[in-house]
Structure 1
C-alpha cells in the first residue's frame, strides 16, 4: 500500500499595481501590474497583452490572473499593461484617435515598458536587481495575440504602407488564440477591424509558440473553423511551434480570469497545463533550461490522454 502523496505548495508570488507611467502623447497614463516570484534573481520577463472581450476588468491589468500567477510561480516577471482598448477606459477614450481597438498603441505600450523597465524594477518593492533585462518574451490572448504577433514581426498595411512594430528586445513569444489571416474574415468584421484584413505573417521572424484550441470556432469572424487561429504558425517562417489543445475553446480553459462568465470551456486542469507548457517553452526558448520544453511535452502531450498535440518547424 502506497503512502500519502506529498503536495508541494505553489511558489509564493508578489503582485504590485498600479505602476503608473506617463507616456507623452498617450491620452491616458500607462498603468501596469507586475507579478514576480517572491525569491530568485536573474528573472526573465513576460509582457502580457490582454484581449478585448466584454468584461471591464479582464481587459486590463486586473485580468489574466490564472495564467499570470502560473508564470510568476514558474520564475518569470509578468508585466501586464492596461491598453487603451481596455473596456475600463472605453467611455473616457471613446473619441480618441485609434478608438476603440488602438491596435498600434497596444504594441507601442510594450516597447515603452521595455524602455522604462529599469524604472518599473525599482518601483516595485523587493524587485530591484532581480530582473534579467536580456531575457524578454511577449505573450497575448485573442486581440492580445494580434499585438504579440506585431511585436514578433508580423506586419499590417495602413494607407498603402507596411507598418513594422517588431521589437528586437523580445526574444520569444507565446501567441494564445490569436486571429488569423485577413482574406477569410467576414466583410462586416473586416470593415470593423480593417487592420485584421492586411495582416502579413511572412515577416514574423521571432521564435514563438502558437497555442490554439481545437474547438475555438470563431464563426463571427470566419467560416474557416479552428484552423484560422493556427495561421500565425502556418503562415509565419520558422522557428515556430504549434500547440493544439484538445477540447479547448477560445478561453483555453479560463486563462483570462477565475470563474469568468466569458469562459465557455472552464477547466482548471487545462489552464494548469497551458501554464506549464508555455513556461517550459519559454524556459527553453530563452536558454534557461534546454530540456524544459521536451520534458513538459513528454509529460502532457503524449500517452493515452494528451492535453494537446505539438508540431514544429
Structure 2
C-alpha cells in the first residue's frame, strides 16, 4: 500500500469493503465454493518432498502486457532466477538460470505498484522462485482507487497465473522450460492480502499450494477457506495503523490448514516490506523458508523457519505448520 495514502482514507475504504461483503463481483469468481470451511486434510504441502536450491541466483526482471476480458489491463512484472553472479540488482531481460522453478503470484496494496516491493520480491527470486506481480487497473498507482474492485482481483490473479504458466511451453520465450506449474503460491500485501485470501476462499484457485498474507484481512472475501489444504503464512505488524492487527489475526484464526503467523510487535502497516533493514531481513528470510517448504517440499526449510522468524527478537511466531 502506498505510504502516500492517509491511513484514515484507506481504513474508510476497507470499512466500505466490509459492508458490501461478498458482492456480485465476488459471485463471479471462477470456482464454486462450499458454504463451510473444510477440515485440514494433510499435515504437509501437496508437493513431493524435495530440496530447494542451496545457492543464491542472480535476478532477472521482465514485463508482460496482459488484459483480462479486453477492459482490465494487467501489466505484470516478473522477477526470476537468472544466470550470472548473485548479489547485484535485478537485470532487465537477463538470461534465465537453468532449472525449473516454482511460481509465486504477488498482489500489491492500494495505490501501490509491483516495483514498490522489489526488495522483497527479488530476494524470493534469488532463492529460486519466479515471482509474477500484476498491477491492478483500479487499485494500482494511477488508478481511480476504487477499493471495491479488490473483489475482482482474485480472478485477475488467476488469469495472470494462467498466462504466466503458458510461457513455460511457448516457443522462443526466455522462460520456456523454466516454470513448474505444479508448484504455485499466492502472496499479497494489504488490499493485495485481501486478494490473496480471496484466492483461497470465494475465488479459490485450485492450482495454489500455499499463501502468504501481509497485513491482510478477510473483509469482502470471507473466511470460507476451500479446497485442498494449502499452508498459510500471515505476517502482520502489531502497530499496524491501517489494518488492525486483530483483523488480520481473526482471518488467520479461521484458516483450517497448516499455518503460522509472524507478528512484529513494533511493525506498522508495511514499512518492513518496503525499506531495507533488520525487519525486512527477518520477513524475507522467514517467507523464503516457508516457500521452500511449501513449494519445494524441503523439510529442512520448515525446521529452520522458527529460528529465522525469531532472529534478533524482532518478531514472534505462532507456529501450527
Judge same fold: TM > 0.5, yes or no: yes
Q: Which has the higher helix share?
A: 2
What secondary structure does 2:233 align onto? strand
Paired residues for 1:122-271 under 5 Å: 122=170, 126-153=174-201, 164-180=202-218, 196=219, 198-203=220-225, 206-218=230-242, 225-253=244-272, 255=273, 257-258=274-275, 268-271=277-280
The 8 Å contact of residues 51 and 142 in structure 1, kept in 2 or not, is answered as yes
For residues 302 and 313 of structure 2, the distance between their equivalents in structure 1, rounded to whole angstroms, comes to: 15
Is 1:20 paired with 2:29? no
Is 1:310 paired with 2:317? yes
Per the alignment, residue 126 of structure 2 pairs with 73
TM-score (norm 2): 0.70
For residues 152 and 200 of structure 1, the distance between their equivalents in structure 2, rounded to whole angstroms, comes to: 10
Q: 1:81 to 1:145 in 2, by over 3 A?
A: same
For residues 291 and 227 of structure 1, the distance between their equivalents in structure 2, rounded to whole angstroms, comes to: 31
The 8 Å contact of residues 16 and 124 in structure 1, kept in 2 or not, is answered as no
Is 1:115 paired with 2:162? yes
Per the alignment, residue 5 of structure 1 pairs with none
Among 6, 21, 32, the residue aligned to 2:76: 32
For residues 10 and 135 of structure 1, the distance between their equivalents in structure 2, rounded to whole angstroms, comes to: 19
CA offsets 1:83-109 (integer angstroms, 9 cap, x no match): 122344425xx8xxxx45412321111
Per the alignment, residue 106 of structure 2 pairs with 48
For residues 172 and 75 of structure 2, the distance between their equivalents in structure 1, rounded to whole angstroms, comes to: 13
What secondary structure does 2:299 align onto? coil
Among 127, 140, 153, the residue aligned to 1:106: 153
Q: 1:270 to 1:306 in 2, by over 3 A?
A: same
- Unpaired runs of 5+ residues, structure 1, are 1-8, 54-58, 154-163, 181-195, 259-266
RMSD: 2.5
Per the alignment, residue 113 of structure 2 pairs with 60
Per the alignment, residue 281 of structure 2 pairs with 272
Among 136, 139, 146, the residue aligned to 1:86: 139
Q: Answer 1 or 2: higher relative contact order, Cα 8 Å, separation at least 6.
A: 2
What secondary structure does 1:167 align onto? coil
TM-score (norm 1): 0.72
For residues 198 and 175 of structure 2, the distance between their equivalents in structure 1, rounded to whole angstroms, comes to: 29
Per the alignment, residue 191 of structure 1 pairs with none
The 8 Å contact of residues 213 and 252 in structure 1, kept in 2 or not, is answered as no
For residues 291 and 312 of structure 1, the distance between their equivalents in structure 2, rounded to whole angstroms, comes to: 16
The structure whose Rg is larger is 1
Q: How many residues align?
A: 249
For residues 119 and 244 of structure 1, the distance between their equivalents in structure 2, rounded to whole angstroms, comes to: 36
What secondary structure does 2:131 align onto? strand
CA offsets 1:66-122 (integer angstroms, 9 cap, x no match): 11111111110000101122344425xx8xxxx454123211111112222344444
Deviation of the 1:268 alpha carbon? 1.6
